[in-house]
Amino acid sequence: MNWFDPYTCMAKCSDSSGLQWKKLGFLVGFFVCLVFFRPVSGLRPLRERTRSWGDEWLSVRKDENEFGPFSAWNITGTYRGSWKFIDSANSSSRFPDFKKSNGNSIIELASTPTKITGVHYVQGVIIFHDVFDNEHEVGGAQIKVEGVYIWPFRQLRMVANSGKEGEFGQEEDYILSNPYHLLGVFSSQIFQESPRDKIWKRKHSPMYDMEKHCNIEIAAQISRISTPQNDGDHDRYHIEGLMESPSVDDDGDCFSPMLLNTTSVNVEVYYNKAVNYTLMVTFVSFLQVLLLIRQMEHSNTQSGAAKVSILMIGQQAIMDAYLCLLHLTAGILVESLFNAFATAAFFKFVVFSIFEMRYLLAIWKASRPMNSGEGWEAMRRELSVLYSRFYGILLGGILVMYEFHKFLRPILLLIHSFWIPQIITNVVRDSRKPLHPHYILGMTVTRLAIPLYLFGCPHNFMRIEPDKIWCICLGVFMGIQALILLIQHYLGSRCFIPRQILPEKYSYYRRFEQDGNYATDCVICMTSIDLPQRSNDCMVTPCDHFFHSGCLQRWMDIKMECPTCRRPLPPA
């Protein structure tokens, strides 16, 4: 058998059994025969060009700290880097939409050994960001590739996968289970674009036509990165290569040759980012529990709880329920990070289901004092209505965010307007100090932690592009709400409203007839009241009962009822 004959070598490769050999017989055989049974100087890019890029990049690079020229490297992993056209401007006549000359790229590869010594089968996905002009709004271009990695010469040869979607073999299990890939998919589905928009953009993308009319060929060189720190058993690799796109009908190139320059992602660092994020969420949840306990102590009376807006607490409870579901979904999707995300989801569940729902029921009961004395059936019926509205709004919000996914950031601004119902309630009821200042400031800061990390941190683990303008708008919006609440706390609920448009209020220091037959004893402290010496020490209720000013004010902090006849009292 003549092993130097390419056709003989390909015939031997095609005789191997298994689905992988049937699929890649020609591809592996051709590249193996090309590398092993031709002179090394004959290695070229995928097509002969005037500029000898192959001679420049495909020379064997050998570092002193390597074990030798024939040590096998496992290049399975995720690579991040950049792409750029060799020419300053793209000269494509078929795809003039490729107006940008450089951008970011992500390569995810899965490498498995073959029966041919020195050859690994490689398949993966290449994602190109910033390819098209912004007016197309089609996002990044994604291409599935497969090929061979000839590790004695550190050569990587890949072509676009011509199969249908979903036909990748078992080697794709790494790509699908990679936390970097899974969290990227989760981020794309939840925070960036919906699946429906993603399918529409793919069909209307110029990449959809390019897959039909262009062949994509990649030739790359693999090198290992030597770092001063000891990263353990995880080696980092660098890929430099050229991607060409000859047309199927030999009508020139689909686009100019493209240089790829990527470096493998340190998965341990990525794990640490995700774990640190869950620790932050856990710490923030713990602070919110302490703040809720402080606020519940501040309004532990029936009168104090009735001053708090039930819509404000309900909106915060819905926010924590959404965060609990998101973290739990992320933990189920990324199995290796399940414990971290499940811990964050558990703390959010505690805040939502135990403390906020309990406070919600206390406010509801305080605002309906007459109904508390009714039968159990009426109480259960009203509780059922309350729970039905709450969970109905919770499920309806999920549907609204799914349907209007492109307006996610304005929706997040609307969700973070939970202080507005309390501001309106203070003005309408003229409530005195319904919220503790520590609760106002603490909740404002802790509610900003997660959205500012996701949309403001340039190195967040969700790989969301930072939006500084939106983060500034959110911070200013929340700050204005908290500032208004603090002004109402210290200066009065209606201090910023002109007196001319305010309704008339009942005055507890009103004039009364001296000849009237009034009780002269305060039923709160059981001491006499000196009525002839009229002063600010005496207060009169609408039902003409007299009390000491200090006694009645302390009473109204607990109950807004007349201590004598139990009639409802207006705000002071």
Q: What is the arithmetic mean of pLDDT over 415-435? A: 92
Distance of CA 504 to the CA centre of its chain: 49
| Nearest to 292, CA basis, from 357, 360, 356 | 356
CA distance 123 to 121: 7
H-run or E-run covering 77? strand 77-85
CA distance 355 to 269: 35
CA distance 428 to 494: 9
Residue 59: pLDDT over 70: no
Distance of CA 520 to the CA centre of its chain: 65
Q: What is the arithmetic mean of pLDDT over 127-133? A: 66
Distances (CA, A) of 200 to 137, 139, 166, 194: 11, 11, 18, 10
- For residue 244 the two structure tokens come to 């060409």
**457-465: which pairs have CB atoms within 8 A and are 24 or more residues apart?**
459/273, 460/273, 460/277, 461/183, 461/270, 461/273, 461/274, 461/277, 462/183, 462/184, 462/186, 462/187, 462/191, 463/183, 463/184, 463/187, 464/187, 464/191, 464/192
Q: What is the arithmetic mean of pLDDT over 25-42? A: 44
* Gyration radius of the chain's alpha carbons: 35
pLDDT, greater one: 41 or 447: 447
Confidence of residue 420 (pLDDT cuts 50, 70, 90): very high
Q: How confident is the model at residue 477, as a pLDDT? A: 97
Q: Provide the 10 A C-beta neighbour count for residue 394.
A: 15
Distant-in-sequence, close-in-space partners of 563: CB < 8 Å, separation ≥ 6? 523, 524, 545, 547, 552, 555
364-411 pLDDT per residue, tens: 988 876 554 566 788 888 889 999 999 999 999 999 988 888 888 999
Q: 451: number of CA atoms within 13 Å, CB side?
A: 25
The backbone region for 474, taken as left when phi is positive above 0, alpha when psi lies in -120 to 50, beta otherwise, is: alpha
CA distance 270 to 293: 35
Handedness of CA 455, 417, 411, 359 (dihedral sign): positive
Q: Provide the 10 A C-beta neighbour count for residue 262.
A: 23
Q: Which residue has the tokens 């591809």?
A: 27
CA distance 240 to 223: 8
Confidence of residue 504 (pLDDT cuts 50, 70, 90): confident
**Residue at 311: amino acid letter:** L
Q: How confident is the model at residue 211, as a pLDDT? A: 62
- For residue 496 the two structure tokens come to 């910023």
Question: Which residues on adjacent β-strands are paired with residue 247?
Answer: 214
| Nearest to 148, CA basis, from 36, 40, 16, 17 | 36
Q: What SS3 state is found at 154?
A: coil
**Residue at 350: amino acid letter:** V
Confidence of residue 517 (pLDDT cuts 50, 70, 90): low
Answer yes or no: are the C-beta atoms of 344 and 285 closer than 8 Å.
yes
Mean pLDDT, all residues of the chain: 76
Confidence of residue 186 (pLDDT cuts 50, 70, 90): low
Confidence of residue 2 (pLDDT cuts 50, 70, 90): very low
Q: What is the arithmetic mean of pLDDT over 309-318? A: 95
- For residue 376 the two structure tokens come to 């159990």
Rounded to the nearest 10 degrees, the angle between the axes of helix 408-415 and helix 376-403 is 150
Q: Provide the 10 A C-beta neighbour count for residue 241.
A: 23
CA distance 200 to 4: 49
**397-405: which pairs have CB atoms within 8 A and are 24 or more residues apart?**
397/318, 397/322, 398/322, 402/194, 405/193, 405/194, 405/197
Residue ranges of alpha helices (H) inside 433-559 are: 437-456, 468-491, 549-556
CA distance 443 to 447: 6
Q: What is the arithmetic mean of pLDDT over 134-158? A: 75
Distant-in-sequence, close-in-space partners of 274: CB < 8 Å, separation ≥ 6? 179, 183, 334, 337, 340, 341, 461
Q: 453: number of CA atoms within 13 Å, CB side?
A: 17
Which range (4-8, 233-237, 473-477) has the least confidence? Answer: 4-8
**Phi then psi dihedrals of residue 384, to 5 deg:** -65, -40
438-476 pLDDT per residue, tens: 999 999 999 999 999 999 998 888 778 889 999 999 999
Handedness of CA 389, 394, 399, 401 (dihedral sign): positive
Which range (17-21, 305-309, 321-325, 425-429) has the least confidence? Answer: 17-21
